[in-house]
């Protein structure tokens, strides 16, 4: 949270303006000296005593005290005849009355302060309850629209804000699109398809780029605030990012009719809500993976296997082209030849693929094309051709295929573009990240294969290591069982690095946990239960997305990195991130608990090159397992349905349905209740509700 996002009013000396101190910030005990003036100062103020007389009296009082005869100031003043006894008694009486009045005022202010704090605590309790309610809904819902609607409604109702809205980023991460909002203003803005560009000069644009909350304490002075005619009463605004790690999914925007309406506690609660909403959004989108076509996944998997066995770049590129031509989408392939892009062919449908007899080169240099497609971007998704800045020739191809939505997926070979694959759909909203993931994974696999081929031309020592990478690649490409994948990886790594501790960690961004499904140590293989993402070396590799090698003075260097290690730290530690499409899915690690300098740069390069193959193999195996599980469920449901349909009477149907549900779901008891909406008086009535029920243990 940047320091200038909250405007705190400055506080002065509480005694500078009033005798009675303000109770807004009482950090010291309330004493008579604070509430009323001292006797000497009061006498001077009343012109009954001069400064010189007061100083003389104080010195005389001090001397008496040193002599063991402590005296009150009033007694000294009377004794020195600076004032008479009657005047002193009158002044003391006035002081006592003034103190009594000040104490009453102070007590009244303190009571008011207690009431204000009680109201504030009640308001905060309401906020926590609302946050808990939305959090429960976020962890259970599979309907994103319902979650967003309830969230903005509860925020306005329970937090007593003026307006609440949720913006979600589009597939291209270029616009924050209004997805849900409150009131008539929100309804009208949704009908307008209201959106703001990511990074635009606005509160929402700023938050989507910086991934930090931004609070507008006074709309009249904040340069990022955009006044909307539909929301004229807004005086302050809080915008919270909906993000998971560094990935921004959208923003939660709250507006109030009061200035300085949001304090730091409010932002903490709203950020908690935003985190839960972001997790729910990610979960709902991940569910789309189950809708992927099993046949296409198997096709991509088979081609990945074939690519892993190839040792020349043209064959790899041709296999990827074949994969895209066999999909249910429209596709096109552009290959790089002599630093120029050539349109290799187009596929209007799954049944046809057209290649060109004469080379059709794109009138752009390779360097220009590489500047159009960022190196760190997995794909470009275009849903509106009128808003894109891509070269017209790239837009012409999908338009010829009558596509409304198109994804451009680059295949990089080292630092340079090797090919550009185009995937198109004839309706918007089809090419979701979940749908594109298998194709992106295939491109990643091809990229690794191309880099493997390039690496083979290196030194003889590198060739020795790359033979292991090739063996692992072939072995991984033929395995769909995760446990065997882990075992193969361990076996091949140990051939080069030796018999050291080894583990594969799998990271879950959803739960922020690390699971170790395969751990080899001291000749034993085991797996560990999930642990929270913390501050250990493995967590550092996950967060930084970079390899980490410590081979000397490991404990000290680990502490310098901020790592907190439980137990004895290895003498040599090497971990590389397992990444797919720029996202960390785990860590590949080797350790030597007894020896320093057990690993070198070649070992790091070996694991770093091997890691993408392992990561993609794990992701592919997971996709296959998910798809097979879904297919098996559908098969069982179909078989159960067929048995029910074969029954000829109600009781037989109930028996068959109960038995099938119990068998396939593993339920101890299944109860089916039938309720007829209309039962005429002539119809036979059941003797009891039991005749219309079927139960089974």
**For residue 146, what pLDDT is reported?**
81
- The answer to whether 203 and 216 are in contact (CB under 8 A) is yes
Q: 3-class SS at 519?
A: strand
- DSSP E strand boundaries for 187-288: 195-197, 214-216, 236-244, 247-256
123-289 with 292-455: one CATH topology?
Answer: yes
**For residue 648, what pLDDT is reported?**
65
**For residue 156, what pLDDT is reported?**
85
CA distance 137 to 420: 42
Can you give the pTM of this predicted structure? 0.36
Which alpha helices (DSSP H) does 478-530 contain, by range? 482-497
* Closest residue by Cα to residue 224 from 237, 212, 233: 237
* Closest residue by Cα to residue 281 from 254, 244, 246, 253: 244
| DSSP 8-state symbol, 248 | E
Q: Which residue has the tokens 């690690």?
A: 589
* Closest residue by Cα to residue 463 from 472, 455, 471, 473: 455
Q: Which residue has the tokens 């439980």?
A: 566
CA distance 383 to 432: 11
Q: What is the 3-state secondary structure of 25-66?
A: HCCCCCCHHHHCCCHHHHHHHCCCCCHHHHHHHHHHHHHHHH
What are the boundaries of each domain within the chain?
A: 3-121, 123-289, 292-455, 458-625, 647-696
Q: 3-class SS at 215?
A: strand
CA distance 21 to 11: 12
- To the question of domain 458-625 being in CATH 3.30.450.40, the answer is yes
**DSSP state string for 296-322:** HHHHHHHHHHHHHT--SHHHHHHHHHH
pLDDT averaged per 10 residues in sequence order, the chain, 697 residues: 38 34 44 58 84 87 86 83 84 80 78 70 62 62 77 82 92 86 92 92 94 93 91 94 91 93 85 83 66 62 78 85 82 81 79 70 70 77 78 80 86 84 81 82 85 65 60 65 86 86 92 93 90 90 93 88 79 93 91 88 85 85 74 69 68 73 68 62 42 39
- Residues in Cβ contact with 14 at an 8 Å cutoff, skipping those fewer than 6 apart: 21, 22, 25, 26
* Closest residue by Cα to residue 607 from 591, 620, 588: 588
Please provide residue 481's backbone torsions phi and psi, each rounded to the nearest 5 degrees.
-95, 125
**Which neighbouring-strand residues pair with 590?**
502, 574
Exposure class string for 591-606: b at 16+ Cβ within 10 A, else e = bbeeeeebbeeebbbb
- The answer to whether 228 and 203 are in contact (CB under 8 A) is no
- In the chain, the largest separation of any two C-alpha atoms, in whole Å, equals 124
- The answer to whether 376 and 346 are in contact (CB under 8 A) is no
CA distance 471 to 448: 14
Fold held by 292-455? Beta-Lactamase (3.30.450)
**Both tokens assigned to 163:** 């307006």
- The answer to whether 465 and 605 are in contact (CB under 8 A) is yes
CA distance 585 to 89: 84
**For residue 565, what pLDDT is reported?**
73
CA distance 334 to 189: 41
Please give the CATH architecture assigned to the domain spanning 123-289. 2-Layer Sandwich (3.30)
Q: 3-class SS at 176?
A: strand
Q: What is the 3-state secondary structure of 416-461?
A: EEEEEEEEEECCCCCCCHHHHHHHHHHHHHHHHHHHHHHHHCCCHH
**For residue 493, what pLDDT is reported?**
86
**Both tokens assigned to 256:** 């109030």
Give the HSE-up count for residue 235: Cα atoms under 13 Å, Cβ half-sphere: 9
CA distance 692 to 680: 16
């Amino acid at each position: 949270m940047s320091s200038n996002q909250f405007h705190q009013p400055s506080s002065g000396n509480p005694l500078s303006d009033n005798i009675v101190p303000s109770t807004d910030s009482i950090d010291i005990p309330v004493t008579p000296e604070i509430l009323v003036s001292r006797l000497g100062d009061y006498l001077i103020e009343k012109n009954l005593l001069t400064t010189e007389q007061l100083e003389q009296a104080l010195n005389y009082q001090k001397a008496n005290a040193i002599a063991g005869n402590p005296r009150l100031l009033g007694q000294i003043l009377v004794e020195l005849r600076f004032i008479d006894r009657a005047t002193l008694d009158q002044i003391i009486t006035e002081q006592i009355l003034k103190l009594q009045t000040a104490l009453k005022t102070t007590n009244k202010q303190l009571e008011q302060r207690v009431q204000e704090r009680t109201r504030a605590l009640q308001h905060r309790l309401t906020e926590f309850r609302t946050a808990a309610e939305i959090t429960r809904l976020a962890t259970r819902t599979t309907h994103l629209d319902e979650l967003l609607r309830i969230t903005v409604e509860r925020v306005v109702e329970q937090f007593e804000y003026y307006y609440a809205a949720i913006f979600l980023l589009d597939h291209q991460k270029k616009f924050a699109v209004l997805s849900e909002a409150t009131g008539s203003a929100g309804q009208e803005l949704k009908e307008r398809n209201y959106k703001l560009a990511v990074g635009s000069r606005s509160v929402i644009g700023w938050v989507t780029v910086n991934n930090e909350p931004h609070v507008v304490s006074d709309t009249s002075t904040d340069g990022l605030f955009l006044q909307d005619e539909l929301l004229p009463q807004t005086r302050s605004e809080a915008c919270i990012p909906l993000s998971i790690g560094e990935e921004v999914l959208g923003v939660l925007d709250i507006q109030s009719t009061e200035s300085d309406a949001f304090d730091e506690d409010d932002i903490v609660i709203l950020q908690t809500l935003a985190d839960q909403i972001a997790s729910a959004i990610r979960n709902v989108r991940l569910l789309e993976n189950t809708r992927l076509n099993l046949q296409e996944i198997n096709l991509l998997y088979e081609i990945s296997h074939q690519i892993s066995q190839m040792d020349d770049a043209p064959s790899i590129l041709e296999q990827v082209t074949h994969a895209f031509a066999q999909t249910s989408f429209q596709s096109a392939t552009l290959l790089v030849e002599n630093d120029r892009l050539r349109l290799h062919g187009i596929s209007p449908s799954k049944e046809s693929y057209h290649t060109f007899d004469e080379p059709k080169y794109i009138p752009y240099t390779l360097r220009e094309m590489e500047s159009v497609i960022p190196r760190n971007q997995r794909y470009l998704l275009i849903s509106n051709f009128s808003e894109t800045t891509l070269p017209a020739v790239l837009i012409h191809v999908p338009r010829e295929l009558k596509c409304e939505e198109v994804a451009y997926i680059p295949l990089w070979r080292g630092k340079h573009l090797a090919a550009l694959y185009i995937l198109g759909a004839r309706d918007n909203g089809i090419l979701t990240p979940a749908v594109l993931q298998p194709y992106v994974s295939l491109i990643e696999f091809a990229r690794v294969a191309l880099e493997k081929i390039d690496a083979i031309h290196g030194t003889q020592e590198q060739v020795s290591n790359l033979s292991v990478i090739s063996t692992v690649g072939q072995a991984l490409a033929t395995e769909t069982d995760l446990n065997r994948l882990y075992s193969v990886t361990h076996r091949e790594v140990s051939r080069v690095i030796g018999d050291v501790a080894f583990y594969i960690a799998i990271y879950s961004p959803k739960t922020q946990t690390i699971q170790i499904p395969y751990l080899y140590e001291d000749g034993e293989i085991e797996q560990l239960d999930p642990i929270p993402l913390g501050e250990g070396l493995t967590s550092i590799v996950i967060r930084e997305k970079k390899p980490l090698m410590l081979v000397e003075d490991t404990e000290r260097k680990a502490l310098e990195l901020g790592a907190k290690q439980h137990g004895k730290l290895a003498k040599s530690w090497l971990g590389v991130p397992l990444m797919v499409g720029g996202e960390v899915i785990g860590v590949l690690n080797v350790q030597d608990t007894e020896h320093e300098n057990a690993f070198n740069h070649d070992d790091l390069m070996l694991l770093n090159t091997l890691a993408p193959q392992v990561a993609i193999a794990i992701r592919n195996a997971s996709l296959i397992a998910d798809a097979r599980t879904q297919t098996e469920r559908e098969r069982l449901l179909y078989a159960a349905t067929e048995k029910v349909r074969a029954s000829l009477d109600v009781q037989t149907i109930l028996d068959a349905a109960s038995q099938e549900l119990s068998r396939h779901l593993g339920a101890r008891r299944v109860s089916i209740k039938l309720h007829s909406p209309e039962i005429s008086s002539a119809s036979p009535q059941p003797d009891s509700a039991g005749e219309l029920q079927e139960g089974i243990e």
